[in-house]
Structure formats: C-alpha cells, structure tokens
Amino acid sequence: MKKLLIFCCLLAALSCRKANVIDPAEACDKELEQYSAAIEVWSKDITNKAKCEAVKKSLTNIINNCSLYTAAQRRLYEEQLKDYTCD
C-alpha cells in the first residue's frame, strides 16, 4: 500500500508540467503540494479514515483544478481515486 502511495505521489509530481500561462501551473502546483502533504500524513497512519478522506479530496482537487492534464491523465487519476477505500 505504501508503494502505491509513493507511486501516486511521484506520478502526480511528474505529470503536471508547467505551461506558458502561469495561473493554471500555479493551481496545479498548489494542488500537487497539498496532495503530497496529505499522502505523507496518511502514510504515517493508514488506518485513519479522516486522513484517507483528505487524500481522496486532494486527488479530486487535482482532477478538477489542474487544467494542464489531458483527458487520459485525468482518467488515470479517477481510476486511482476508485482504488482508495477508507473503510
């Protein structure tokens, strides 16, 4: 599970490239930072439902707010989001 979390974090960091337009890139960077922070906090206590929900929320924010992603990249994140179970 921890390897999956690290992979997701690295994938998110590598797949969001900066564009010439600053605002979308800044939004993407902000969401990626929040996602990375949520992953790090949750990885220390994987059984915590609230921390899991925070990861899911941050991933949803990336999907919704990072306009630099292609449709295929968004689908990848949506599939990852389905894999998170916070029970």
Give the start-to-end residue ranges of the domains of the chain.
2-9+23-83
Write out the chain's pLDDT in tens, 87 residues.
Answer: 655 556 555 555 555 554 444 577 888 889 999 999 999 999 999 999 999 999 999 999 999 888 888 899 889 989 989 988 888
Question: pTM of the predicted model, to two decimals?
Answer: 0.68
C-alpha 70/C-alpha 86 separation (Å) is: 27
